[in-house]
């Protein structure tokens, strides 16, 4: 049920996913104002969307642990990261209020490429063992 990958790197990568996503998801409930602040103005229901995304982060973060849900949870995390990317773009295009609030400009812009790193992490750590092995695609073709 909770079978871990065979390599140490993927074990660590997989086990850190729930720590990270559950932690961030909980922060949506403990500090929702931080997330509401970066919501693009064209989206409705800012607070509700913050709570919804937090609940989804917690659920998907936990769903990476059982083998039966791991693959779908990985793709779900990627979809969630795509869904919240407009907030990161909004923050980068309109940095002034965030800088005035004490957020560094470097952090604001670093969030953009990190979304792609997080997507790769979710994909890599949740792949079935055979797909994640080095050279697996070449072995499958042979």
Residue matched to tokens 């693009």:
40
Task: Say yes or no to pLDDT of 63 above 90.
Answer: yes
Instruction: Report how far residue 65's alpha carbon sits from residue 116's, in angstroms, rounded to the nearest whole number.
Output: 22
Q: Tens digits of per-residue pLDDT, 93-142?
A: 999 999 998 999 999 999 999 999 999 999 999 998 766 555 555 444 44
58 φ/ψ angles, rounded to the nearest 5 degrees: -65, -50
Domain boundaries, the chain: 22-128
pLDDT at site 136: 54
Question: pTM above the 0.75 mark?
Answer: yes
Q: Mean pLDDT of all residues in the chain?
A: 91
pLDDT at site 6: 83
Structure-token pair, residue 25: 């998801």
Distances (CA, A) of 14 to 17, 40, 121: 5, 31, 9
Q: Higher pLDDT residue, 1 or 24? A: 24
Q: Tens digits of per-residue pLDDT, 83-94?
A: 999 999 999 999
Nearest to 77, CA basis, from 126, 113, 33: 126
| Mean pLDDT, residues 39-49 taken together | 95
Nearest to 54, CA basis, from 73, 34, 28: 28
Task: Say yes or no to pLDDT of 3 above 90.
Answer: no
Task: Say yes or no to pLDDT of 29 above 90.
Answer: yes
């Amino acid at each position: 049920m909770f079978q871990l990958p065979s390599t140490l790197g993927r074990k660590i990568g997989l086990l850190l996913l729930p720590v990270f996503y559950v932690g961030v998801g909980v922060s949506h409930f403990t500090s929702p104002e931080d997330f509401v602040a970066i919501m693009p103005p064209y989206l409705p229901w800012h607070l509700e969307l913050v709570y919804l995304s937090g609940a989804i982060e917690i659920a998907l973060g936990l769903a990476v642990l059982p083998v039966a849900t791991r693959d779908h949870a990985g793709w779900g995390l990627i979809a969630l990261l795509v869904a919240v990317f407009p907030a990161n773009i909004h923050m980068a295009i309109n940095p002034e209020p965030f800088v005035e609030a004490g957020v560094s400009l470097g952090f604001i812009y670093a969030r953009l490429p990190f979304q792609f790193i997080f997507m790769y992490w979710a994909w890599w750590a949740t792949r079935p063992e055979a797909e994640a092995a080095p050279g697996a695609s070449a072995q499958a073709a042979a």
